[in-house]
Structure 1
């Protein structure tokens, strides 16, 4: 596995069940919004990237 994928897996393992559910729901909502109200696949990917950056930054400060 790639280092990025390993980091993501490790991060998810360290999440509380509630936090994991909230992040999963956020990802699904963004995905299903594609095509509605001008929300594009590119905007969705930017949102996913933003979520990932928050994870990485938070892990740096632990």
Structure 2
């Protein structure tokens, strides 16, 4: 996380991409992954714990 934050401060860096797993998807296999990564809780945060962690640290989750 600190490395990504450092990259954001460097000149010439417009964006940073990363790959993450969906830790809790195995509990929601009845829906496509593309829909799952968009599911949000009552507070408007992503339901997947790993994706939510990244979201709460400034990441934009895209498929």
For the aligned pair, the TM-score class normalised by the smaller chain equals under 0.3
TM-score, length basis structure 1 = 0.27
